[in-house]
């Protein structure tokens, strides 16, 4: 029985040994995935490893959740470049998938009955002020993050973090809209601090996408995990 709605995800941290071993591990992919890998013709081993391990991870995630064998799962790509999950003897339209890569970090997700999109961004090594200026968001990112419980402004967040939250949200929004939207179409009203996990110390946020934005995407959820930001968005099919 397929669940009516469930979102599953995982994060993978590759090391140099995994990148070197990817050439052997690619045999966990099926013929369609191997053909796509060949067409992409990656010149850098890291890019090939990102492709291979993101698909293996997603297959393992779905296999564990649905209790089905790995050979029954195939990750295909739509004409719009978005991944989707094809399962033997099951309806294709129920499953969407999303991948995001940031150097040696991978984030993969699958969603049942709804379209999902994810993104992972590093806080380090990026001139976020320049990115925000290029996107025309320099003034807007000066707005303070709002406490989700009290609705009061909070002051402890660095400008770099706010910029990374916005960019991660934009990437998720673009994936949900199949990149049909223009950068100028994306805008947001507020960023909310939701909570801090007492065990992992991960911090959770929510960004409210403006009603003026095209497409029915109204909230994107974000997670600050050490020096990276992970974004997740879901859209009804």
Which pTM was predicted?
0.88
Per residue in 69-114, pLDDT (tens digit) is 888 898 988 877 788 888 876 655 567 899 999 989 999 998 877 8
Chain mean position to CA 28 = 23
Domain span including residue 173: 121-236
Cα 161 from Cα 105, distance rounded (Å): 18
Instruction: Judge if 140 and 206 occupy the same domain.
Output: yes
Chain mean position to CA 36 = 21
3-state secondary structure 31-69: HHHHHHHHHHCCCCHHHHHHHHHHHHHHHHHHHHHHCCC
The band of 237, judged by pLDDT with boundaries at 50, 70 and 90, is: low
Instruction: Judge if 140 and 104 occupy the same domain.
Output: no
Residue 145, domain member (yes or no):
yes
How many structural domains are present in the chain? 2
63, 43 Cβ separation under 8 angstroms: no
């Amino acid at each position: 029985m397929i669940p009516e709605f469930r979102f599953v995800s995982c994060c993978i941290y590759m090391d140099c040994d995994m990148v070197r071993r990817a050439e052997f591990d690619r045999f966990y992919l099926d013929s369609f995935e191997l053909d796509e890998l060949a067409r992409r013709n990656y010149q850098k081993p890291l890019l090939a490893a990102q492709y291979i391990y993101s698909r293996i991870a997603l297959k393992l995630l779905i296999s564990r959740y649905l209790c089905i064998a790995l050979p029954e799962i195939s990750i295909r790509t739509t004409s719009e470049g978005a991944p989707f999950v094809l399962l033997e003897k099951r309806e294709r339209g129920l499953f969407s998938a999303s991948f995001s890569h940031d150097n040696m970090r991978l984030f993969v997700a699958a969603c049942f009955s709804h379209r999902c999109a994810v993104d992972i961004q590093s806080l380090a090594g990026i001139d976020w002020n320049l990115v925000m200026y290029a996107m025309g968001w320099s003034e807007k990112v000066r707005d303070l993050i709002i406490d989700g419980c009290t609705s009061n402004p909070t002051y402890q967040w660095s400008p770099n973090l706010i910029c990374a939250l916005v960019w991660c949200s934009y990437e998720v929004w673009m994936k949900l809209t199949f990149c049909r939207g223009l950068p100028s179409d994306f805008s947001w009203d507020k960023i909310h601090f939701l909570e801090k996990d007492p065990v992992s110390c991960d911090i959770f946020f929510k960004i409210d996408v403006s009603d003026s934005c095209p497409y029915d995407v109204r909230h994107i959820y974000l997670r600050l995990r050490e020096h990276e930001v992970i974004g997740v968005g879901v859209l009804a099919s």
